[in-house]
């Protein structure tokens, strides 16, 4: 829904926090009050739908940006064992699809 809204209006309401809440959960830590662990939850269907919605894969592609955010969260918190790295092998689409960000520089 947020991706369709962004495509129609040109305004994005997709945040890191909204993506994080879709692909992780906060589990209270044992023996620590007010502390929680962030653990990954499967998002196979979401990732498959996002891949199907991708266009150019560039920085102005909201579905590709969401997939990139999910990958960054997976790098940080891990991925569920039941979730394949490629969102949809059957689709035949290459993975990762994102084009390099020209504004990111080359690290030199």
Domain assignment present for 24: yes
Asked if pLDDT for residue 11 goes beyond 90, the answer is no
Domain assignment present for 106: no
Identify the domain containing residue 47 by its residue range: 2-28+36-101
Q: What is the DSSP string of the chain?
A: -HHHHHHHHS-----HHHHHHHHEEEEEPTT-TT-EEEEE---HHHHHHHHHH--S-STT-HHHHHHHHHHHHHHHH---TTS-SSS-GGG---SS-PPP-GGG----
Q: What is the pLDDT of residues 21-78, one digit of tens each?
A: 999 999 999 989 999 999 999 999 999 999 999 887 877 889 989 999 999 999 999 9
Domain assignment present for 54: yes
Instruction: Report how many domains make up the chain.
Output: 1
Domain assignment present for 58: yes
Domain assignment present for 75: yes
Q: Between 102 and 52, whose confidence is greater? A: 52
Domain assignment present for 108: no
């Amino acid at each position: 829904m947020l991706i369709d809204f962004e495509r129609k209006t040109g305004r994005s309401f997709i945040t890191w926090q909204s993506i994080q809440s879709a692909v992780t959960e906060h589990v209270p830590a044992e023996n620590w009050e007010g502390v929680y662990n962030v653990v990954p939850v499967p998002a196979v269907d979401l990732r498959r739908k996002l891949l199907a919605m991708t266009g150019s894969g560039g920085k102005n592609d909201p579905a590709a940006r969401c997939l990139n955010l999910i990958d960054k969260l997976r790098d940080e918190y891990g991925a569920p064992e039941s979730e394949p790295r490629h969102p949809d092998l059957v689709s035949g689409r290459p993975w990762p699809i994102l084009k390099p960000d020209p504004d990111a520089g080359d690290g030199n």
